[in-house]
Amino acid sequence: MAYVAIADRDHEIEHHDPQTFITKYIWSQDHKVIAVQYGLTAIFVGLIALGLSALMRLQLGFPDQFSYINPENYYQFITMHGMIMVIYLLTALFLGGFGNYLIPLMCGSRDMVFPYLNMLSYWVYLLSVIILVTSFFVPGGSTGAGWTLYPPQAIMAGTPGVDWGIVLMLLSLAVFIVAFTMGGLNYVTTVLQARCRGMTLMRMPLSVWGIFIATVLGLLAFPALLVSAIMMLLDKALHTSFFMPAISLMGADPGYTGGSPILFQHLFWFFGHPEVYIVALPAFGIVSDLLSTHARKNIFGYRMMVWAIVAIGGLSFIVWAHHMYVSGMNPYFGFFFATTTLIIAVPTAIKVYNWVLTLWEGNIHLRVPMLFAIGFIFTFIHGGLTGLFLGNVTIDLPLSDTYFVVAHFHMVMGVSPILVVFGAIYHWWPKITGRMYNETLGRWHFWMTFIGTYSIYLPMHYLGFQGVPRRYFAMGNTEFMPESAQDLNAWITVSALFVAATQVLFFINMIWSLSKGPKSDPNPWHATTLEWQTPDHPPKHGNWGHELPVVHRWAYDYSVPGYDDDYIPQNVSADDAPAGRDHGGAH
Amino acid sequence: MTIALGFLALILATLLGWLLKQSFNTQPWVAEVVGETAHHGPLGTNSRLIALLTLLAVVSSFFALILSAYALRMELGDWVPLTEPQLLWINTVMLILASIVFQWTRNAAVKERQARLAPGLLLTGLLTTAFVIGQLVAWQQLQSSGQFITSNPANAFFYFLTGAHAVHIIGGMYVWARATAKVVLGTGDAPSIARSIELCTIYWHFLLLVWLVLFGLLLST
């Protein structure tokens, strides 16, 4: 039977070009518009979370100077900051934003396989965000249970937001999971079904691989959060005792019997650890493509990179209890989970080596996206190494409740993915908008962010070794903490406010570029992947005009010996790219 | 968490085996003429089927995790096993019949025997509705005998599991209702109706399987 790519069968996917402003930009089924909607919403809530962290830092750096920050508020800030950053910003931005934009374009498809479901996914996500933001304004405010929402305190009197906040939080998470599942079904099916002719799995750019495996992880792990959210809602609303132990509350009996808080921790981290990789794997993939493109060199060890992504994905499901060493579980479990945690460092280290080896003898162009990609290697190695410390039970026990942990996870899954987000936005901005940004401003943005974040988080490791406890509203007078710890805290706060303020550069640059930026070349980085080869720039609805592209090679044909150009796009056949012939693309 | 892990190992092993087949011994850096790579293209099946199977994996993960929680919670001291209402046996029979009739309808749809579709679909709907109502009645019976959701963790899990399962059935009924409306009103083309009936049938069999596992577990503990 003659081979016909699924995407070539027009009856499978119908495309009606949107006519009005509303169908084009609001109720849009175009994956590119949905990606931008996801991205803007995620960045909007991300800014709220950034503001919350600034408020927390004000209290920590200059205790009791600000009358509007009290202990209750402080815990609400922590909780909402963590939850928003991890789930509503990073997960939504990487999968809903970049996943939506890149999968169809990089795979050579016209759109997601189910455009209507895709649109629904965004609107349900927006609903979850609205529920979340509403919780700031209900009586009692948002929940202050900490982003891990551990029972019993999450639903007991004394915790801020115990009446409304926690209920809205759990509800919002459940709605988010529904939205993610709708999106996730689309991403998986599109990668499996709608690749263009010649795009074999092992020719997909690593960005698509990272997003694909992260989506699979999300689809299998988010149910754990859903189960725990429902069970906690039942404990809260109907007074069942899934998680709530027999407990006395101000001398009264709230009616709970012997539930298990540890059970919640198991369920939560069964989701929570894969969640780290749901955020990290797309970042790994994207950073590989940025490094390869801007170093004009094929990615080192492509197959190894793919298998490392898959291996990390699989292993990420059997390390969850390394978050629970201090929970009082059986010590033999700790031994097992410390071992698996060290094992997962192996494929991760392979990836880091391969990134560095990709740079080696490359023709490195230090443009803004490349700066962010290389910055990511630094912060990720840093955060990864402290992860090895904390993965060992004996080291984790004394450090678990200190700022060392805060420094570790912010380096590895805060700063690192955010650097990739910025790198990716700068990299694909010309494709999304058709305009260039100001390079100098971009560099300033990078250096101030990069140095600024180091100046926040390096001292925090030291505070952790000093034993400064995390989660505390005020440190009080303790003997083991030298007075200089407070000076360091003030320094960290100043740095944090500085970094937060420098993000204005990014927004100024992008808003300026939208209206006044110079028009960009269709392929300004001379990249090989399909999204840069679209007939229209920026790509229109349906992406490819009349004919779908045909792929002849992998995504990493940079500096191939014997060719004039230092790149050969994926859709150029061996016959069309003979040595010495120019095949399009400006020099 | 052994149950959830076992389930995950199964899913990931399938995925890994398939990936190995796709990527073993390939040399991605070699540019080829497209004709040679034709067999490496996308899976040649229905996209909706892929999406449904993915959804079933997600739903399985959901139930496997509840069962894991069940197994962990069961070992704590305050667990008093629940005696399930006998009515559940009748409900189970209803659901099995619904699955059988749905399969029969699906076969008719594939063989393009249009006349059998409407009665088949309506009968399936009736049996499935009977199952859901039967579950509600079982809840009522438990309540009237003083077995409330808060009485005991075993009760709480019983209500949670049966409720979650029923919600999935009702979600399936939405798709069933759309297909049935098309058949009864005579709108929609035959191949697309046949496709939805095929997918619905898979979903019904899957939920029957989930129910049998849940019911077996509830009976044995």
Judged by CB atoms closer than 8 Å, whether chains meet at B28 and A554 is answered as: yes
- Report pLDDT digits (tens) over A451-460: 999 999 999 9
Q: Is B75 exposed, middle or buried (0-12, 13-18, 19+ CB in 10 A)?
A: exposed
Give residue B76's domain range: 47-220
In this complex, the residue of A12, A193, A550 whose CB is nearest that of residue B50 is A193
For residue B83, count other CB atoms closer than 10 A to its CB: 11
pLDDT at B19: 83
Residue A33 gets the label, from left (phi > 0), alpha (psi -120 to 50) or beta, of: alpha
pLDDT at A314: 93
CA B38 vs CA A1, A2, A162, B46: distances in Å: 11, 9, 59, 18
Structure-block tokens of residue B91 = 């409900």
ipTM of the complex: 0.93
Q: Enumerate the residues of chain A whose CB falls inside 8 A of the CB of residue B22.
A: 200-202
In this complex, the residue of B31, B43, B76 whose CB is nearest that of residue A552 is B31
Helix, strand, or coil here: A587? coil
Check: CB of residue A60 under 8 Å from CB of residue A468.
no
Contact status of A114 with chain B (Cβ, < 8 Å): yes
- Report pLDDT digits (tens) over A40-50: 999 999 999 99
Q: Measured between CA atoms, how close is B166 to chain A, in angstroms?
A: 15
In this complex, the residue of B57, B65, B149 whose CB is nearest that of residue A224 is B65
Which residues of chain A from 566 to 585 reach within 8 Å of chain B, CB to CB? 568, 573-574
In a domain, B13, yes or no: no
Amino acid at B207: L
Q: Measured between CA atoms, how close is A291 to chain B, in angstroms?
A: 17
Q: Enumerate the residues of chain B whose CB falls inside 8 A of the CB of residue A193.
A: 42-43, 45, 47, 50
Is the per-residue pLDDT at A565 higher than 70?
yes
Nearest Cα neighbor of A166 from A105, A243, A275 is A243
Among A42-46, A96-100, B81-85, whose mean pLDDT is lowest? Answer: B81-85
CA A332 vs CA A339, A393, A426, A480, B164: distances in Å: 11, 11, 47, 32, 34
Judged by CB atoms closer than 8 Å, whether chains meet at B47 and A230 is answered as: no
Is the per-residue pLDDT at A10 higher than 50?
no
- Residues 6+ positions from A395 with CB-CB distance below 8 Å: A389
Q: How does residue B191 score in pLDDT terms, banded at 50, 70 and 90?
A: confident
Check: CB of residue A64 under 8 Å from CB of residue A49.
no
Helix, strand, or coil here: A525? coil
In this complex, the residue of A113, A260, A557 whose CB is nearest that of residue B76 is A260
Q: Enumerate the residues of chain A whose CB falls inside 8 A of the CB of residue B58.
A: 181, 184, 219-220, 223
In a domain, B32, yes or no: no
Nearest Cα neighbor of A102 from A204, A225, A218, A16 is A204
> Which candidate in A112, A201, A222 is best for mutational testing of the B interface (most B CBs within 10 A)?
A201
- In total, the C-beta contacts within 8 angstroms joining chain A to chain B are 172
Is the per-residue pLDDT at A11 higher than 60?
no
Residues recorded for chain B: 221
* CA separation for the pair B119, A148 (Å, rounded): 51
* CA separation for the pair A395, B72 (Å, rounded): 28
In this complex, the residue of B33, B42, B72 whose CB is nearest that of residue A6 is B42
- Report pLDDT digits (tens) over B89-107: 999 999 999 999 999 999 9
Contact status of A231 with chain B (Cβ, < 8 Å): yes
Judged by CB atoms closer than 8 Å, whether chains meet at A240 and B156 is answered as: yes
Q: Enumerate the residues of chain A whose CB falls inside 8 A of the CB of residue B8.
A: 220, 317
Computed over its alpha carbons, how large is the radius of gyration of chain B? 22
Q: Measured between CA atoms, how close is B99 to chain A, in angstroms?
A: 25
Residue A317 gets the label, from left (phi > 0), alpha (psi -120 to 50) or beta, of: alpha
Is the per-residue pLDDT at A6 higher than 50?
no
In a domain, B29, yes or no: no
Give how far the C-alpha of residue B213 lies from the chain's centroid of Cα atoms, to the nearest Å. Answer: 11
pLDDT at B42: 55
Amino acid at A123: W
Average pLDDT over residues B169-189: 92
Check: CB of residue A322 under 8 Å from CB of residue A392.
no
Name residue A249's beta-bridge partners.
A252
Q: How does residue B34 score in pLDDT terms, banded at 50, 70 and 90?
A: low
Q: How does residue B141 score in pLDDT terms, banded at 50, 70 and 90?
A: very high
| Residues of chain B above pLDDT 70, percent | 94
Structure-block tokens of residue A165 = 């906040």
Mean pLDDT is highest, among A44-53, B66-75, B192-201, for A44-53
Q: Enumerate the residues of chain B whose CB falls inside 8 A of the CB of residue A198.
A: 32, 34, 37, 41
pLDDT at A3: 42
Q: How does residue A328 score in pLDDT terms, banded at 50, 70 and 90?
A: confident
Is the per-residue pLDDT at A554 higher than 60?
yes
Q: How does residue A252 score in pLDDT terms, banded at 50, 70 and 90?
A: confident
Q: Give chain A's count of helices (H) and strands (E).
A: 16, 0
Q: Measured between CA atoms, how close is B168 to chain A, in angstroms?
A: 13
Q: How does residue A249 score in pLDDT terms, banded at 50, 70 and 90?
A: confident
Comparing A355 with B27, which gets the higher pLDDT? A355
* CA separation for the pair A324, A393 (Å, rounded): 10
In this complex, the residue of A3, A199, A219 whose CB is nearest that of residue B54 is A219
Q: How does residue A582 score in pLDDT terms, banded at 50, 70 and 90?
A: very low
In a domain, B176, yes or no: yes
Judged by CB atoms closer than 8 Å, whether chains meet at B19 and A113 is answered as: no
* CA separation for the pair A145, A147 (Å, rounded): 7
Check: CB of residue A208 under 8 Å from CB of residue A143.
no
Q: Measured between CA atoms, how close is A170 to chain B, in angstroms?
A: 16
Name residue A519's beta-bridge partners.
A435
Check: CB of residue A400 under 8 Å from CB of residue A326.
yes
The DSSP secondary structure of A295-326, one letter per residue, reads: TTSPPTTHHHHHHHHHHHHHHGGG-GGGG-GG
Judged by CB atoms closer than 8 Å, whether chains meet at B54 and A12 is answered as: no
Is the per-residue pLDDT at B1 higher than 60?
yes
pLDDT at B35: 52
In a domain, B37, yes or no: no
**Nearest chain A alpha carbon to B48:** A189
Q: How does residue A2 score in pLDDT terms, banded at 50, 70 and 90?
A: very low
Residue with tokens 């004709």: B35
Is the per-residue pLDDT at B29 higher than 90?
no
pLDDT at A577: 67
Contact status of A195 with chain B (Cβ, < 8 Å): yes
Long-range contacts, stretch A148-154, CB < 8 angstroms, 24+ apart: A148/A265, A148/A268, A148/A272, A149/A79, A149/A232, A149/A268, A150/A261, A150/A264, A150/A265, A150/A268, A151/A232, A151/A235, A151/A243, A151/A244, A151/A259, A151/A261, A151/A264, A152/A243, A152/A244, A152/A245, A152/A247, A152/A256, A152/A261, A154/A232
State the average pLDDT for chain A.
92
Tell me the residue ranges of DSSP E strands in A302-392. Answer: none
Comparing A348 with B221, which gets the higher pLDDT? A348
Nearest Cα neighbor of A147 from A231, A59, A78 is A78
pLDDT at A8: 47
Q: Domain segments of chain A: what residues?
A: 537-587
pLDDT at A7: 45
Write down the pTM of the prediction: 0.94
pLDDT at A585: 42
Tally of CA atoms within 13 A in the half-sphere of A548 that contains its CB: 23
Q: Is B86 exposed, middle or buried (0-12, 13-18, 19+ CB in 10 A)?
A: exposed
* CA separation for the pair A275, A409 (Å, rounded): 13
Judged by CB atoms closer than 8 Å, whether chains meet at A201 and B12 is answered as: no
Average pLDDT over residues A17-24: 74
Q: Measured between CA atoms, how close is B159 to chain A, in angstroms?
A: 11
Please count the structural domains in chain B. Answer: 1
Average pLDDT over residues A24-46: 94
For residue A374, count other CB atoms closer than 10 A to its CB: 23
* CA separation for the pair B204, B196 (Å, rounded): 12
State the average pLDDT for chain B.
90
Q: Enumerate the residues of chain B whose CB falls inside 8 A of the CB of residue A554.
A: 28-29, 31
Residue A560 gets the label, from left (phi > 0), alpha (psi -120 to 50) or beta, of: beta
- Residues 6+ positions from A170 with CB-CB distance below 8 Å: A149, A229, A230, A232, A233, A236
Residue B112 gets the label, from left (phi > 0), alpha (psi -120 to 50) or beta, of: left
Judged by CB atoms closer than 8 Å, whether chains meet at B47 and A114 is answered as: yes
Residue with tokens 């943005």: A445
* CA separation for the pair B68, A266 (Å, rounded): 10
Measured N-to-C along each axis, helices A403-410 and A439-466 cross at an angle, to the nearest 10 degrees, of: 150
pLDDT at A545: 87
**Nearest chain A alpha carbon to B163:** A230
- Residues 6+ positions from A202 with CB-CB distance below 8 Å: A302, A303, A306, A554, B22, B23, B26, B28
Contact status of A263 with chain B (Cβ, < 8 Å): yes
Q: How does residue B38 score in pLDDT terms, banded at 50, 70 and 90?
A: very low
pLDDT at A254: 84
Contact status of A3 with chain B (Cβ, < 8 Å): yes
Is the per-residue pLDDT at B73 higher than 70?
yes
Q: Is A349 exposed, middle or buried (0-12, 13-18, 19+ CB in 10 A)?
A: middle
pLDDT at A333: 87
Contact status of A484 with chain B (Cβ, < 8 Å): no
- Residues 6+ positions from A447 with CB-CB distance below 8 Å: A371
In this complex, the residue of A189, A255, A307 whose CB is nearest that of residue B51 is A189
Is the per-residue pLDDT at A271 higher than 60?
yes
Give how far the C-alpha of residue B6 lies from the chain's centroid of Cα atoms, to the nearest Å. Answer: 19
In this complex, the residue of B16, B26, B41 whose CB is nearest that of residue A5 is B41
In this complex, the residue of A186, A260, A552 whose CB is nearest that of residue B34 is A552
Q: Enumerate the residues of chain B whose CB falls inside 8 A of the CB of residue A557.
A: 29, 31
| Residues of chain A above pLDDT 70, percent | 95
Average pLDDT over residues A90-118: 96
Give how far the C-alpha of residue A554 lies from the chain's centroid of Cα atoms, to the nearest Å. Answer: 26
The DSSP secondary structure of B52-83, one letter per residue, reads: HHHHHHHHHHHHHHHHHHHHHHHTSTT-----
- Report pLDDT digits (tens) over A181-224: 999 999 999 999 899 988 988 899 999 999 999 999 999 999 99
Q: What is the CATH classification number for the domain harbouring B121?
A: 1.20.120.80
Helix, strand, or coil here: A558? strand
* CA separation for the pair A196, A564 (Å, rounded): 27
* CA separation for the pair A374, B76 (Å, rounded): 51
In this complex, the residue of A194, A202, A550 whose CB is nearest that of residue B34 is A550
> Which candidate in A6, A186, A200, A247 is best for mutational testing of the B interface (most B CBs within 10 A)?
A200
Check: CB of residue B101 under 8 Å from CB of residue A260.
no
Is the per-residue pLDDT at A313 higher than 60?
yes
Which residues of chain A from 170 to 189 reach within 8 Å of chain B, CB to CB? 181, 184-186, 188-189
Contact status of A503 with chain B (Cβ, < 8 Å): no
In this complex, the residue of B29, B32, B156 whose CB is nearest that of residue A298 is B29
List the alpha helices (DSSP H) in A154-260.
165-193, 206-237
Q: Enumerate the residues of chain A whose CB falls inside 8 A of the CB of residue B26.
A: 200, 202, 303
For residue B141, count other CB atoms closer than 10 A to its CB: 15
